[in-house]
Amino acid sequence: MKVDGKHFRSIWRERDGWSVGAIDQRRLPHEFVIARLTSCEDAAVAIRDMLVRGAPLIGATAAYGMALAMREDSSDAGLKRAYETLIVARPTAINLKWALDEMRATLAPIDPLERAEAAYARADEIVEQDVEINRGIAANGLQLIEAIAAKKPGETVNVLTHCNAGWLATVDWGTATAPIYLAHERGIKIHVWVDETRPRNQGASLTAWELGHHGVPHTVIPDNTGGHLMQHRMVDLAIVGTDRVAANGDVCNKIGTYLKALAAHDNGVPFYVALPSPTIDFAVNDGIKDIPIEQRSGVEVTDMTGRTADGRLETVRIVPEGSPVANYAFDVTPARLVTGLITERGVLKPDRASLAAAFPERIAAAAE
C-alpha cells in the first residue's frame, strides 16, 4: 500500500539479495524508519520487540529468519537451532509456527549445501502467498461491504476495526483492511472507526497512519467508544483480524476484541473476522481454554510515548508509582459472537464443519 504516494510492503529482500528490510513499526507514526535484518537473531528480536508485528508478518519474518540462519549454518543442528530461536519469539500468533513448520518441511529433507538457496525461495513464496491470500480476502469481504452500500445508496458505509490488521500486519493489503482498501478503490463511500487499542495503540499509531497515507477516511476513537457508536447505528459492520482461530471457530485477537464482539452482538451489528488460512490452528479445539495468551511488560500500561508540541519524542508515566498492572495482550471471542470468517476461500460460518470443508488439506496436515 502507499506511503507518501510510493508503494511499500512491510518486509522485503534487500537489493543485496540476502538481507531483509522491514519497516520499524515501533517508530510509527512519528518516524518512518527502515530496519535491516542480517541474522536469525535479528529476526527473532524484531518479532519479540515488535519491530514487526501482526500475525502474518510475524510468520513472514520468521521465514526470512530461517533463510538468514541457513546462510550462517545450514547443518541439521543449525536448522534445529534456528527453529528453536524463532519459535519462542512470541506465543500467540500461530502463523509463527506455521511458517517455521513450512520452512522446516522444505529444508530438512535436502542437502545442507542447498538449504540456504531453498530457504530464500520458500520464504519468498510465503511472502507472495500472503499477498495473494489477502487479495482473496479483499474480494470476498468486498461483497459484504457492497451489500451494505446497496441498502443505503449514496450514504457512507461505516466499518469499525480494532488493533492493526492492516498492511503493516501482513506483507501487503492487510486482512481486516483488505476489503476496505478494495471498496475505497472501487469508489464506495467508506469510513473506518479506528479503535486506539491500548496499551500499545496499534490502532491510533498504525491503522490510522496507513489509512491516512492511502487516503481512506477514518476517525480514531478511544477503545471504549464502540458500544456507544453501535447503539446509535453509527457502525454498519465490524471487521477485525486474528492471531489464531481454533478449529471450533473461536477467534483470538488483540485484547478488547471480545468486548467489541459483545457490543456488536447486543446491537445487531455484523461482526466479521478476516483471516488467512495459516491463522487457523486445527490442533486447538477450544480457543478459550487452549490458545496461549501473551502477557507483556507492565511498562506498556504504565507509560505512554508521544510527540511533544516542540517535536520531541517523550515517554511519560500515567499510572501511580507502585500500582500493580496487568497486560494481557490478547483475548478470545467465542465463535457464537462471530458473524462470519472472511477467508481467501470465501466467507465461512465460524464452526468446525465450515472450516474443515474449506481447508481439508490443513486438517490432514494437522493430523500427521
Ligand X SMILES: CSC[C@@H](O)[C@@H](O)C(=O)COP(=O)(O)O
Quick one: 139 or 189, whose CB is closer to ligand X?
Answer: 139
Quick one: 45 or 72, whose CB is closer to ligand X?
Answer: 45
Residue least distant from ligand X (Cβ): 241
Residue 270 near residue 238 (C-beta atoms within 8 A): yes
Binding residues: 53-55, 90, 202, 253-254
29 upstream amide cis, omega within 30 of 0: yes
Quick one: 26 or 184, whose CB is closer to ligand X?
Answer: 26
> Catalytic residue among 42, 130, 236, 243, which?
243
Strand partners, 280: 245
Among residues 194, 192, 180, 189, which one has the least CA distance to residue 156? 189
Quick one: 78 or 340, whose CB is closer to ligand X?
Answer: 340
319 three-state secondary structure: coil
Quick one: 21 or 56, whose CB is closer to ligand X?
Answer: 56
Least gap, CB of 131 to ligand X (angstroms): 13
Angstrom CA distances, 218 to 49, 80, 203, 204, 288, stand at 28, 45, 11, 11, 32
- In angstroms, the CA 149 to CA 188 distance is 7
Least gap, CB of 154 to ligand X (angstroms): 31
Binding residues vs ligand X (CB under 6 A):
53-56, 93, 163, 165, 169-170, 175, 202, 241-243, 253-254, 329
Using the structure block, give the residue that is written with the C-alpha cell 478488547. 256
CA–centroid distance for 296 within its chain: 17
Strand partners, 3: 6
Least gap, CB of 68 to ligand X (angstroms): 21
Least gap, CB of 141 to ligand X (angstroms): 13
Assigned C-alpha cell, 301: 500500561
> Does residue 243 carry a catalytic annotation?
yes
**φ and ψ of 300, to 5 deg:** -65, -25
Quick one: 37 or 46, whose CB is closer to ligand X?
Answer: 46
Least gap, CB of 346 to ligand X (angstroms): 18
- In angstroms, the CA 200 to CA 301 distance is 8
Least gap, CB of 168 to ligand X (angstroms): 9
Residues in the chain: 368
Quick one: 158 or 253, whose CB is closer to ligand X?
Answer: 253
Torsion of CA 30, 31, 32, 37, to 10 degrees: -120
DSSP H helices, 215-294, are 226-231, 257-267, 287-290
Residue 163 near residue 188 (C-beta atoms within 8 A): no
Least gap, CB of 277 to ligand X (angstroms): 13
- In angstroms, the CA 42 to CA 22 distance is 11
Binding residues for substrate: 53-55, 90, 202, 253-254
CA–centroid distance for 337 within its chain: 20
- In angstroms, the CA 107 to CA 259 distance is 42
240 three-state secondary structure: strand
Assigned C-alpha cell, 326: 496487568
Active site amino acids: 243
